[in-house]
Structure 1
Amino acid sequence: MKSLLASILASIALSAVAHEGHHSDQMPLGYVKFPYQATYPGDNEVTADSIFSGITTFAKLPWVQCLGRDKEETFDIAFIGAPFDTGTSYRPGARFGPSGIRAGSRRLTLYGGYNVPLQVNPFQSGLKIVDCGDIPVTPYDNKHAIQQIEDGHKALLHRRTFSPLGNDSLTGEPLIPISADGKNHPRVITLGGDHTIVLPLLRSIYSAYGKISVIHFDSHLDTWKPSVFGGAPSHQAEINHGTYFYWASQEGLIQNGSSIASILFYISPHGAIRTTLSGPADYENDDASGFQRIEAREIDTIGTDGIIKKIRDTVGDAPVYLSIDIDSIDPAFAPATGTPETGGWSTRELRTILRGLDGLYIVSADIVEVAPAYDTNAELTTMAAADVLFEVMSVMAKTPLGKPASSK
């Protein structure tokens, strides 16, 4: 009887190992295993945690100390937190955004992570995707914190990629990088943090891509002059989550529509705008910063397809940086944010619009203003933020950051 029981147990173990091996063959090198791929203790492999246990990284991705002991680690897409919220004007708490978004992302790989509308599984696309933890950010000195964020992002952006660019899928012609410095850079997805962090992120992006187009989803303009937003009692107070695009434009980090080519291809679109203003002059300053506005209410007349077309017509095939304020979603769906505005898009509408960016050269991205303390027990906001990034990651996985030499 004991012999029969031992034989049965051995057979089950062998079957489990074979099942595990079958799925492992589909996984990129050094990559995460999904919960259904758990191995048995004694198989010389770590048993996979269930989605609600273990250390919480974004989508259960491998944790790599990219700014610490793993400085030589290569990757294609990295998630990094920027827990900064001392530039906010209303409700603080976005310093807890990175940990909250990671918690909201836990079940993204529950069934394997296949994105049905985009027909891609970013986790099994051959790219190496990691969670680098958080940039060390001081809560006591905004000037120093902003420098820390720039330095941390730049350290990842200038890391060698794990995957080569490869060849064009249609012509077979080798791809060349689209960056200004001629190098193939990994993509960095930053978990904010309030929206102030985008100024140091764009400074970092400039070091690799030069002036960049920006797709900005937000309920607010964020191009206000410091004298209007914050009062500018000091230079440090002039830099906050309502003025960072003003400074980015002043510093020449973003394309500002100063020429015909810029007007056609490089001015940057705001999406989901619905804020109140100090007056019409706010729009004039927004125009001067090079942004084309897409009001949230336009979804009622032109729909998601019309909004997608406006964005694509504005950006063209230029490299683009994507910045998403969670308050672009209506607070009915995402209440946990620093400055909520009613009348926004639904989570479904924003995800649809993001999928419509498929094929654009999104070089890096962020999601900001998630303040989990104001969320419901159901984690509505953090879950929405994680799902939004799932769409962004899927779009990135489908489009390498390179073009055939003949297209130049």
Structure 2
Amino acid sequence: MFPGATADRDAASYVIVGAPLDISTSFQPGTRFGPDRVRRFSETYDDYDHTTDSFFSELAVHDAGDIHAWSAAREYLDHLASELRAAVWDGSIPVTIGGEHTVTAAGVEAVEPDVFVCLDAHLDLRSNYDGNEWSHACVTRHVLDTAEEAIILGARTGSPEEWDRAAQDDVTVVPPEDVASWLSDPPAFDDRSVYLSVDIDGADPGFAPGTGTMEPFGMTPREMRDLVRTVAPFCDGFDVVEVNDRDDGQTAALAGKLLREFIYQHADRADL
């Protein structure tokens, strides 16, 4: 159980679901261990958050456990989407812990947002990777079948074809060096539904080495925290993905902290 997720399912405002999919990782596998590691390395965090003057254990968070993965990605995503959609229909916010980034497609399918905001080192706009259209490197392209717009924060690498796709009007790319400027004047989401995905490799690998495809020159944890705080109040769904077991827990600790920041900030705005 995620620490502090003490609410019963029928009383939950937030439903955490682990999605340990690990079939298309192209460099360092291990995301199947991500949900458990994020829970484990979140155990030391204080229940109380001074910024929002709230206790995590009082925010009606439920941990539904893991949806165990199998080798057929499309079928798994359909099943995961149905589980997350049940939370949406119950009036809860689905919060997914990955697993590879492919699982985000299920979250977006369940929520059906207008805007997809993603913290990520990679554009993930490929039509396929090594012949696999359901690779983690294709997830944002799939998301754009549902969402009207994608904002990719922290992106710093991609193929020529991905950069061509990113130049279209429905995609905004904010490189790490421009994140501070974006935070000073974020878009007005107004009444549009937003889904927020945190690919932990958006962080510089010096801070988060336990991920499948490390990419230097990334964001700092504080920048990622500030992005989550800024976007969270407008969101109808959230995930944090691409944590593996190839470090001493630094990456899982960051992922768990960002998940908590999302819930603290979302709940704080919901109370207004």
TM-score over 0.5 for the pair: yes
| 2:247 corresponds to 1:375 | yes
Alpha-carbon shift at residue 215 of structure 1 (Å): 1.0
Alpha-carbon shift at residue 363 of structure 1 (Å): 0.9
Alignment of 1:95-106 (within 5 A): 95-106=32-43
Alpha-carbon shift at residue 387 of structure 1 (Å): 0.8
- Say what the alpha-carbon RMSD is for the aligned residues: 2.2
Instruction: Select 1:394's aligned residue among 261, 264, 272.
Output: 264
Contact 1:269 1:314 in 2 (8 A): no
Counting strand residues as a fraction of each chain, which structure ranks higher?
Answer: 2
CA distance in 2, matches of 1:134, 1:194: 14
CA distance in 2, matches of 1:83, 1:124: 24
| Corresponding residue of 2:73 | 142
Counting matched residue pairs gives 272
Matched letter for residue 94 of structure 2: V
CA distance in 1, matches of 2:167, 2:83: 31
| 3-state SS of paired residue (1:315) | coil
| Corresponding residue of 2:189 | 315
| 2:101 corresponds to 1:195 | yes
* Segments ≥4 residues shifted beyond 6 Å: none
Structure 1 pair 357–151 and aligned structure 2 pair: CA distance change class (3 A)? closer
| 3-state SS of paired residue (2:126) | coil
Alpha-carbon shift at residue 248 of structure 1 (Å): 2.5
| Corresponding residue of 1:248 | 143
* Deviation by residue 1:279-300 (Cα, 9 ceiling, x = unmatched): 2x4222123472201001225x
Contact 2:120 2:155 in 1 (8 A): yes
| 3-state SS of paired residue (1:98) | helix
| 2:128 corresponds to 1:205 | no
Alpha-carbon shift at residue 203 of structure 1 (Å): 1.1
Alignment of 1:67-216 (within 5 A): 73-109=10-46, 113-116=47-50, 118-123=51-56, 127-138=59-70, 140-159=71-90, 185-206=91-112, 211-216=113-118
TM normalised by structure 2 equals: 0.91
Structure 1 pair 214–222 and aligned structure 2 pair: CA distance change class (3 A)? same
Q: 322-331 vs 144-153, which deviates more?
A: 144-153
CA distance in 2, matches of 1:271, 1:194: 18
Alpha-carbon shift at residue 307 of structure 1 (Å): 2.3
Contact 2:16 2:97 in 1 (8 A): yes
Q: Which has the larger radius of gyration?
A: 1
CA distance in 1, matches of 2:192, 2:111: 14
- In structure 1, stretches of 5+ residues that fail to align are 1-56, 67-72, 160-184, 256-266, 403-408
* Deviation by residue 1:12-68 (Cα, 9 ceiling, x = unmatched): xxxxxxxxxxxxxxxxxxxxxxxxxxxxxxxxxxxxxxxxxxxxx21242386x5xx
CA distance in 2, matches of 1:131, 1:308: 31
* Deviation by residue 1:258-309 (Cα, 9 ceiling, x = unmatched): xxxxxxxxx331111111x332x4222123472201001225xxxx3x2214
Contact 1:224 1:286 in 2 (8 A): no
Alpha-carbon shift at residue 314 of structure 1 (Å): 5.8
| 3-state SS of paired residue (2:140) | helix
Alpha-carbon shift at residue 124 of structure 1 (Å): 5.8
| Corresponding residue of 2:133 | 238
Alignment of 1:27-46 (within 5 A): none
Matched letter for residue 65 of structure 2: G
TM normalised by structure 1 equals: 0.62
Q: State the structure with bigger RCO (CA 8 A, min sep 6), 1 or 2.
A: 2
CA distance in 1, matches of 2:263, 2:64: 15
Alignment of 1:251-400 (within 5 A): 251=145, 253-255=146-148, 267-275=149-157, 277-279=158-160, 281-288=161-168, 290-299=170-179, 304=180, 306-310=181-185, 312-313=186-187, 315-357=189-231, 360-372=233-245, 374-376=246-248, 379-400=249-270
Matched letter for residue 83 of structure 2: G
Contact 2:7 2:61 in 1 (8 A): no
The percentage of aligned residue pairs carrying the same residue is: 25
Matched letter for residue 356 of structure 1: T
